Chains A and B, each alone.
Chain A
């Protein structure tokens, strides 16, 4: 099924590329071959989650968000294997490790999909840790979710992309005027 007129990639292919990017990062950096599994989240549903959600922005002709969702136990396991430490609490070091894994997964994913979506840029990741965190993605043209099991813990990966809205010259003038006014 082709999802949009602008991109000629189907959801199955997109999900496969997402899972493949995660598998590559886990196998190279964590020396573990993750097992693909069925994601628990729905593409159009809210997420109510205890644990970690790591977000990274994608921007270009298409823009959107990539995210990694996992439990605190999974984050400890990821950080321990990445840093070769015995992480016992979800601290800055663990969150930093999850953020970097997010960066690598979506960095590779970005390279895989640029032939479909045009050149994309990545933001720096933001990592959230808490209980009863409710996350919601606004409707996007294209959403793909993949899940892998790594160290016995499920890790979900999600990407939401839409064609970027073109800025108008009027908006640029407005911003310039505002800055000029302040100065």
Chain B
């Protein structure tokens, strides 16, 4: 059964009380890593992010979890937007890896996926996702989720 964005957000808030490690300057110029095996979706997300008027810094792309780890090794990120279903290393494995590394565990992660089942959402939340957006998505949904996610992390 599909789970609403609001329920997912509530689940996220309940399961992840405020992180004290995220630096405030993340929201000044937000460096974002987009992880999705679909080049089309990465392109759409970049377009949508630019429509939001969020204070964006670098936007980098990775086509799976493994490549995302390589990108993070090069430079950390202020926010990660990740698909769940991907080859090599999926979004849940990526999330688990990020949360297990002290240098990355503060990075907010929002899952953006077609997976709407409650079990996937709960699993992502349990692993430390701060939010969840279903495909198809609008620019407003992305903006709202990022804004609320970053606000929660700052508190």
A100 and B117 in contact (CB under 8 A), knowing A28-B138, A84-B47?
no
Q: How far is the CA of A111 from the CA of B134 in the complex (A)?
A: 11
The answer to the question of A36 belonging to the interface, with a C-beta cut-off of 8 Å to chain B, is no
> Is A124 close to B, CB under 8 A?
yes
Cβ of A84: which chain B residues have Cβ within 8 Å of it? 47
Taking beta carbons and an 8 Å cutoff, which residues of B are in contact with A? 1-2, 37-41, 43-44, 47, 85, 87, 113-117, 119, 135-138
Rounded to whole Å, the gap between the CB of A163 and the closest CB of chain B is 20
The closest CB in chain A to the CB of B38 belongs to A100
Pick the interface stretch among A102-110, A135-143, A172-180: A102-110
Give the complex CA separation of A106 and B115 in angstroms: 10
3 residue pairs, one from A and one from B, having the closest CB atoms: A107-B114, A28-B136, A111-B116
Contact A97–B114 (Cβ < 8 Å):
no
| Contact (Cβ within 8 A) B115 A107 | yes
Contact A93 B39 (CB under 8 A): yes
Chain B proximity of A84: nearest CB distance (Å): 6
Measured in the bound complex, the distance between the Cα atoms of B116 and A92 in whole Å is 27
Q: Verify if A122 is at the interface (C-beta below 8 Å from B).
A: yes
A116–B4 Cα distance when bound, in Å, is: 19
Size category, A interface = 20 to 34
Docked CA distance A103–B44 (Å): 15
Are A99 and B138 touching (Cβ within 8 A)?
A: no
Q: Which residues of B sit under 8 angstroms from A108, Cβ to Cβ? A: 2, 114, 116, 136
Within 8 A of B (CB), among A33-83: 79, 82-83
Per the bound structure, the CA–CA distance linking A115 and B41 in Å amounts to: 28
A10 at the interface (CB under 8 A from B): no
> In the complex, what residue of chain B is closest to A21 when comparing beta carbons?
B136
Q: Which residues of B contact A111 (CB under 8 A)?
A: 1-2, 116-117
The answer for the CA separation of A117 and B140 in the assembled complex, in Å, is 33
A114 adjacent to chain B (CB < 8 Å): yes
Any chain B CB within 8 A of the CB of A96?
A: yes
CB atoms of A100 and B41 under 8 A apart? yes
Residue of B nearest to A125 (CB): B38
Q: Are A83 and B38 in contact (CB under 8 A)?
A: no
Choose one: A24, A25, A93, A110; the contact of B40 (CB below 8 Å): A93
Complex A-B: 26 CB contacts under 8 Å: A24-B136, A28-B136, A28-B138, A82-B40, A82-B44, A83-B40, A84-B47, A92-B39, A97-B40, A99-B38, A99-B40, A100-B38, A103-B135, A104-B136, A107-B113, A108-B2, A108-B114, A108-B136, A110-B116, A111-B1, A111-B2, A111-B117, A112-B2, A115-B1, A122-B114, A124-B37
